[in-house]
Amino acid sequence: MADEIMDIRNAAKFLQIKERTLYRLVGDGEIPGIKVGGQWRFSKKCLEEMFLKNPEDKKQENM
Predicted pLDDT at 52: 86
Task: Kindly state the percentage of the chain with pLDDT values over 90.
Answer: 71
| 3-class SS of residue 24 | helix
Lowest mean pLDDT among 10-14, 45-49, 57-61: 57-61
pLDDT band at 56 (very low <50, low <70, confident <90, very high): low
**Does the pLDDT value for residue 11 go beyond 70?**
yes
What gap in Å lies between CA 36 and CA 9, rounded to an integer?
15
Contact between residue 54 and residue 39 where contact means Cβ atoms under 8 Å apart? no
What gap in Å lies between CA 52 and CA 63, rounded to an integer?
21
Q: Where are the domains of the chain?
A: 5-61
Contact between residue 31 and residue 42 where contact means Cβ atoms under 8 Å apart? yes
Q: pTM of the full predicted structure?
A: 0.77
What gap in Å lies between CA 3 and CA 10, rounded to an integer?
14
Tell me what the pLDDT averaged over the chain comes to.
Answer: 87
